[in-house]
Amino acid sequence: MEIVPYYNVSIKGGFWKKWQDVDCMTTSRALYDQFYETGRIPAMDLDWKDGMPNRPHVFWDSDVAKWIEGACYCLRVRPDKELEGLVEAVIDRIEKGQAEDGYFNSVYLTFHQKPFTDRTEHELYTAGHLIEAAVAHHEATGSRRFLDMMCRFADLIEKVFVIDASAPYSTPGHQELELALIRLYEASGEKRYLELSRHFVEERGRDKRDRVFSVPNGTWPANPPLKNQLLYNDTYAQDDRPARELEKAGGHAVRAMYFYSAMADIAKYYDDKELLEAAQRLYDDEVRHKMYVTGGISAERYGEAIGTDYVLPNALSYAETCASVAMANFAYRLFGLTHDGKYCDMIEHQMYNGALVGLSMKGDTFYYDNALECRVAVSDFFAGINAKPLYPAYQRQKVFECSCCPPNIFRFIASLGRFFYSYDDSTIWINQYAEGSAQVDGVLISQETSYPYDGRIWINFGSSTHKTVAVRIPRWCTSYSLTVDGKAVDARVEKGYAYITGGIKEGASIVLDFELPVVQLSAHPDVVDATGRVALSRGPLVYTIEGVDNPGLDLFRVSIPAGELDWKLVDKEIEGHSVKGLTFKAMYESVDGYEEVLYKPYGIKREEVEVTAIPYFAWSNRGANDMTVWMRKL
Amino acid sequence: MEIVPYYNVSIKGGFWKKWQDVDCMTTSRALYDQFYETGRIPAMDLDWKDGMPNRPHVFWDSDVAKWIEGACYCLRVRPDKELEGLVEAVIDRIEKGQAEDGYFNSVYLTFHQKPFTDRTEHELYTAGHLIEAAVAHHEATGSRRFLDMMCRFADLIEKVFVIDASAPYSTPGHQELELALIRLYEASGEKRYLELSRHFVEERGRDKRDRVFSVPNGTWPANPPLKNQLLYNDTYAQDDRPARELEKAGGHAVRAMYFYSAMADIAKYYDDKELLEAAQRLYDDEVRHKMYVTGGISAERYGEAIGTDYVLPNALSYAETCASVAMANFAYRLFGLTHDGKYCDMIEHQMYNGALVGLSMKGDTFYYDNALECRVAVSDFFAGINAKPLYPAYQRQKVFECSCCPPNIFRFIASLGRFFYSYDDSTIWINQYAEGSAQVDGVLISQETSYPYDGRIWINFGSSTHKTVAVRIPRWCTSYSLTVDGKAVDARVEKGYAYITGGIKEGASIVLDFELPVVQLSAHPDVVDATGRVALSRGPLVYTIEGVDNPGLDLFRVSIPAGELDWKLVDKEIEGHSVKGLTFKAMYESVDGYEEVLYKPYGIKREEVEVTAIPYFAWSNRGANDMTVWMRKL
């Protein structure tokens, strides 16, 4: 299955046009400015000296690289001389600093440290992001300048880790390079990069020297800093056993997702069914046992990690933006290998919820970790005693000390088109829906729709095709109609796709119409933090209630009535985005009887109130507000 | 109001007789053995040397002191030559080591450190516990040996902190001395100890030098260890303002409760209404906003602290045993000043739930922190990655590194009789109910009852009294009968007590009969962790469901049906204790439809099952089990 690249998919209106505008016009600059001001971009000059502010940090290259990558996606589809100039100037800095042997890491070079001596320092992680940026730059500009630079770096890595095997460890401390090398192979055609990626994927979990996250000397430190406790574990960096033997999704969520993605890629290029099965097993374990209803996949704040089955705290969630982006990328690889729509459902879920919530609607502030519940008074209390990391921030930040998430959501949205279409010799898959057009293996396809707020999608063919056309029927959809040129079609539905056979004529239209009721979602009963509660969704959007829309109401006293919800859509404008909110009849719990006590015999009085919900991604764009995704269900 | 001392109250049967037997026979020895083996008792000899195991710790004196105190309570009411010998031998060690000037702290003396130089080292805290132990020893044995030793220590403290004011700080880092000095005053009649206590209570929050828990140099450390973040705060040790200005219960829970207790005592002896109001305000804030349904009063694991309103996580609870013991002691002081039964309700609540859960039914193992929810698989997962402190232990321990709770629950149960009766010139208050007898200001009163499992209490008068007799009508009780000599009495009920006026004749009986239905308790809706759930209680007992009683059931799939509960009592024997469990009809949630996903459209199938609950205090006595206090309510 081939993927239609993002630059052959033009998003021309509606929901994602607005987001891509914000992303490429505002986010691109906001990130550059922050990365400049915080010293990240200047650090590429390798001239930082003691006493200067902004001491370079070992992760910074990856921040800059992801910014370049995202900016290149923007540039390819919307020429922007200013942005292009910024990108080239940053690459100039890197080019100037790159060592003779191809090595680049701004911290190691600035401080004249010996490369590849400490697996925890993540030079291979930042290398991976630089390589991804170079591939994006090549794709966007046609120039081989940055690509060639990074080929030299990759060659050096091959020499050190395979040919000479001279480093004191075998595999990256933080995965990323593995999947980057596959992209480098795809861009360059050099199979040795694919081989090198396979080497890292296969070697992982085999070399005892790599277990830097293991218990030091075989015994736990008596009192490890709590924050680091999760680090003292073989499973933290997916180091405990070879990839194909991994049974459960676990450890640092981003490392996990990046690694599983590379596993899927290697399975593809080497037709390795066992490795594919392992990747699918890990995906299923994550989705069935460890994922938030919003798509967040790292429940554990300590260690930014995937936790254990059913432990999904709402206010203490982590649900890192990066991990949601990475989950979408992982899912797309599995889709390519299985044609199973559940993976594109996941991409959609992350697009609209888990990943998107990481970016403000204005485009210039971010969430790293994403709460499913926020109480301003609680957050203020814990912030006041400097325990802020324990409870959610109700305001997005411009930049973080470790600022991986902002450029990750930036590049994700800028390249979103790549998730829309794929094809092989006999079939075209239409995976995602948005106003726009695409060249799909020579076939011109356009979509007219107000999706996701409206379920009707006109898919128009500007040229004919003999191929079967498969349109995704999302799992959340229980009722829909499908016509081709106005005639109902009884298309075979398999693994989440309706397959329309017999070819499509030029000028023909497929019309999909998904019913979009509000659905009350319940969680598996072992998800204790959702006991007796429901979350609202409509189409792919998870909804939430936020204080600003519900003045005078304590959100935690709101209950969803028994039976169907009595709801209607309401138009909202938030920071220039048109959003469909929901208003619905809810019940509001009295606190009579709790004046003297916190607990009393059951017997709750409630009155009817009208409550407004908004899409989850849209919360925290209008000041400090309480918020909750889960609501009590009567 | 005078309190009838524990040694004038004899508990002769039923629930508390069994617990006092366990406490004085098993716990007394188990603690001694552990405190000996872990070096605590040998450390009193001050001869620890580098290279030896069990390096003395600055809290150890308090562990040993609380053991002496509890042992003395046992000795006074049940002569035990062996235990007496152990106690006297430990006091010998302390006596031998006490400095000429009266000072004693095993760590400071062992390491020849200069006393009273570091407020965080808690010498005044351990001094307080030694003083309490000395008072108990004097009470139990009549000997002034230990009491005189500790009077000398108190005199030294007065000299250093008041007369010379030579220490670099003004008030104890960890409160306890304040209330101990009041006990020393009561035992010795020396008013200067009361004055000294008042000094410490009044000075607190006034001297900037004392703010050792404040932000160092006015700025937060960049990355304080998470565990210590709560320490970096003025409110942590109730240091932020003078006692009478405190508005909200907060900070380290045990320090808070000890301090508030001393505030109440000072309010009593100096007739200080403002201070009393402050103590009541803090009590009310705790009870109305921050207390678990089990009575646990420290929600925050980090810092062992009282948290903020309505944040009461169940699996991540702290709910320290010591804090529940201390809350009962605080409440009793407020009762003495107000005659308000709500305070004795609280004592009862802690007796049967929050404090008692800290001791195993066999009497030899303990909980320090107390969970309201436990999932063995979750605890195992986090223990496996060395993040054990995050999720509850499902097994009690023999001793802890900081082992304050075991001797605290030991002394609490040994001296429980002191909560039962109080009196003044015109009234006798009967506060707690248990089989036994008492001398109440010359009046012989006995109780016959199977309380708390049965609600009927015969209160028999072995001598007549002209006084009004007030019997506590617990807040949990909504229906009861009250007769005197078989005749219904229409007694005035005020602040939780029924006042029977006109005196009682010798041989007369008051019969109280409380209805004991199972009550479904709901929490204030802002307690998010109890949303849509209820806890079961019967009389003073909070119930819980534990895996061992419900084989084959996943406890988190159990729901309490709408309406009244269909329940019956079941007899259980657990480690030699006769316990009344409850069996009831519940609904059991199907997990059909969750095979592939963690969330699905609401529509839950349930089947009826029989579920067994046990009193909360009795959980975790029969191996590793899941447990939950809160259950979904339909």
Interface A:B, Cβ pairs < 8 A: 200
* pLDDT at A357 (0 to 100): 98
Determine the distance in angstroms separating the CA of A293 from the nearest CA of chain B, rounded to an integer: 7
* pLDDT at B213 (0 to 100): 54
Q: Assess: ipTM above 0.85.
A: yes
Do the chains contact at B386 and A233, CB–CB below 8 Å? yes
Give the span between the Cα atoms of A107 and A189, in whole angstroms. 31
Do the chains contact at B309 and A521, CB–CB below 8 Å? no
Q: What is the mean pLDDT of residues B481-493?
A: 94
Q: What is the mean pLDDT of residues B627-633?
A: 98
- On whether any CB of chain B is under 8 Å from the CB of A288, the answer is yes
Q: Which residue of A has its CA nearest to B556?
A: A526
DSSP states along B73-122:
HHHHHS--HHHHHHHHHHHHHHHHH--TTS---HHHHHTTPPTT--GGG-
Percentage of chain A beyond pLDDT 70 is 96
* Helix-helix angle B14-21:B405-414, to 10 degrees: 130
Q: Which site among B531, B537, B564 would you substitute to test the A interface, given the most A Cβ atoms closer than 10 Å to its Cβ?
A: B531
Torsion on CA atoms B354, B358, B361, B366, rounded to nearest 10: 170
For residue A306, which residues of chain B lie inside 8 Å, CB to CB?
Answer: none
Contact A480, A455 (CB under 8 A): yes
**Whether residue B227 has pLDDT greater than 80:** no
pLDDT per position as a tens digit, A367-410: 999 999 999 999 998 887 766 566 788 999 999 989 999 999 99
Determine the distance in angstroms separating the CA of B529 from the nearest CA of chain A, rounded to an integer: 7
Cβ within 8 Å of A, B 167-206? none
Determine the distance in angstroms separating the CA of A437 from the nearest CA of chain B, rounded to an integer: 33
DSSP element (H, E) containing A45: none
Cβ within 8 Å of A, B 372-431? 373, 375, 377-378, 381-382, 384-387, 389-390
Q: How many CB atoms lie within 10 A of CB B170?
A: 19
Q: What is the mean pLDDT of residues A535-543?
A: 98
Give the span between the Cα atoms of B581 and B301, in whole angstroms. 30
- On whether any CB of chain A is under 8 Å from the CB of B353, the answer is no
Three-state secondary-structure class, residue A459: strand
Three-state secondary-structure class, residue A569: strand
SS3 for A240-271, per residue? Answer: CCCHHHCCCCCEEHHHHHHHHHHHHHHHHHCC
Give the span between the Cα atoms of B116 and B127, in whole angstroms. 11
Q: Is the dihedral angle over the CA atoms B438, B440, B443, B445 positive or is it negative? A: negative
Q: Which residue of A has its CA nearest to B601?
A: A521
* pLDDT at B233 (0 to 100): 67
Q: What is the mean pLDDT of residues B586-614?
A: 97
Q: What is the mean pLDDT of residues B211-223?
A: 51
Q: Which of B373, B601, B630 sits opposite A521 (nearest CB)?
A: B601
| CA nearest to A253, candidates A392, A350, A352 | A350
* pLDDT at A220 (0 to 100): 47
Cβ within 8 Å of B, A 357-376? 373
Helices (H), A317-474: 321-338, 341-349, 376-384, 405-414
Q: For residue A523, give both structure tokens.
A: 């969680």
Q: Give backbone dihedrals phi and psi of B31, rounded to 5 degrees, phi first.
A: -65, -45
* pLDDT at B389 (0 to 100): 60
Q: Which of A224, A315, A525 sits opposite B557 (nearest CB)?
A: A525
Q: Give backbone dihedrals phi and psi of B14, rounded to 5 degrees, phi first.
A: 75, -150
Q: Which residue of B has its CA nearest to A287?
A: B597
Q: Which residue has the higher pLDDT, B153 or A240?
A: B153
For residue B390, which residues of chain A lie inside 8 Å, CB to CB?
Answer: 302
Average pLDDT, chain B: 94
Determine the distance in angstroms separating the CA of B519 from the nearest CA of chain A, rounded to an integer: 6
Give the span between the Cα atoms of A527 and A525, in whole angstroms. 5
Contact A35, A464 (CB under 8 A): no
* pLDDT at B218 (0 to 100): 47
> What is the gyration radius of the CA atoms in chain A, in angstroms?
25
Three-state secondary-structure class, residue B387: coil
Q: For residue B245, give both structure tokens.
A: 């200005």
CB contact burial B356-392 (16+ within 10 A = b; e otherwise): bbbbbbbbbbbbbbbbbbbbbebbebbeebbbebbbb
pLDDT per position as a tens digit, A139-185: 999 999 999 999 999 999 999 999 999 999 999 989 999 999 999 99
**Whether residue A229 has pLDDT greater than 60:** no
Number of helical (H) and strand (E) elements in chain A, helices listed first? 17, 26
Q: Which of B220, B289, B307 sits opposite A598 (nearest CB)?
A: B289
pTM greater than 0.80: yes
Residue type, B179: L
For residue B316, which residues of chain A lie inside 8 Å, CB to CB?
Answer: 316
* Helix-helix angle A273-289:A321-338, to 10 degrees: 130
pLDDT per position as a tens digit, A433-452: 999 999 999 999 999 999 99
Average pLDDT, chain A: 94
Q: For residue A360, give both structure tokens.
A: 């403000």
Strand partners, B430: B421, B471
pLDDT per position as a tens digit, B445-456: 999 999 999 999
Task: Identify whether B172 is preceded by a cis peptide bond (ω within 30 of 0).
Answer: no
**Whether residue A213 has pLDDT greater than 70:** no
DSSP states along B402-463:
S--HHHHHHHHHHTGGGGTEEE-SSEEEE----SEEEEETTEEEEEEE-TTTS-EEEEEESS
Contact A491, A459 (CB under 8 A): no
- On whether any CB of chain A is under 8 Å from the CB of B556, the answer is yes
Determine the distance in angstroms separating the CA of B80 from the nearest CA of chain A, rounded to an integer: 39
Q: Give backbone dihedrals phi and psi of A346, rounded to 5 degrees, phi first.
A: -65, -40
* Residue B123 banded pLDDT, cuts 50, 70, 90: very high
Cβ within 8 Å of A, B 576-595? 589, 591, 594-595
Burial class (CB in 10 A: 0-12, 13-18, 19+), B200: buried
pLDDT per position as a tens digit, B275-321: 999 999 999 999 999 999 999 998 888 788 999 999 999 999 999 99
Determine the distance in angstroms separating the CA of B457 from the nearest CA of chain A, rounded to an integer: 24
Give the span between the Cα atoms of A109 and A115, in whole angstroms. 8
Q: Are strands A468-472 and A427-430 parallel, antiparallel or unpaired?
A: parallel
| CA nearest to B312, candidates B301, B299, B324, B325 | B299
The C-alpha angle A566, A569, A571, rounded to 5 degrees, equals: 150
Q: What is the mean pLDDT of residues B454-468?
A: 98
- On whether any CB of chain B is under 8 Å from the CB of A534, the answer is yes
* pLDDT at A473 (0 to 100): 98
Give the span between the Cα atoms of B327 and B343, in whole angstroms. 10
pLDDT per position as a tens digit, A27-57: 999 999 999 999 999 999 999 999 999 999 9
Give the span between the Cα atoms of B170 and B99, in whole angstroms. 22
Burial class (CB in 10 A: 0-12, 13-18, 19+), B100: exposed
* pLDDT at A27 (0 to 100): 98
pLDDT per position as a tens digit, A355-377: 999 999 999 999 999 999 999 99
Q: How many CB atoms lie within 10 A of CB A216?
A: 11
Q: Give residues with Cβ within 8 angstroms of A72, minimum separation 6.
A: A87, A133, A136, A137, A139, A140, A141
Q: Give residues with Cβ within 8 angstroms of B215, minimum separation 6.
A: A386, B232, B233
Give the span between the Cα atoms of B515 and B512, in whole angstroms. 10
User: Rounded to whole angstroms, what are the CA distances from A478 to A2, A250, A345, A481, A496?
Assistant: 29, 32, 14, 10, 11
* Residue B220 banded pLDDT, cuts 50, 70, 90: very low
Give the span between the Cα atoms of B359 and B416, in whole angstroms. 14
Give the span between the Cα atoms of A173 and A189, in whole angstroms. 27
* pLDDT at B515 (0 to 100): 98
* pLDDT at A230 (0 to 100): 55
Determine the distance in angstroms separating the CA of A60 from the nearest CA of chain B, rounded to an integer: 19
- On whether any CB of chain B is under 8 Å from the CB of A96, the answer is no
* pLDDT at B303 (0 to 100): 81
Contact A372, A317 (CB under 8 A): yes
| CA nearest to A325, candidates A258, A238, A243, A398 | A258
Residue type, A460: N
Q: Give backbone dihedrals phi and psi of A482, rounded to 5 degrees, phi first.
A: -140, 120
pLDDT per position as a tens digit, A541-557: 999 999 999 999 999 99
CB contact burial A580-606 (16+ within 10 A = b; e otherwise): bbbbbebbbbeeeebeebbbbebebeb
Cβ within 8 Å of A, B 455-514? 475, 478
Give the span between the Cα atoms of B250 and A17, in whole angstroms. 50
Length of chain B in terms of residues written: 634
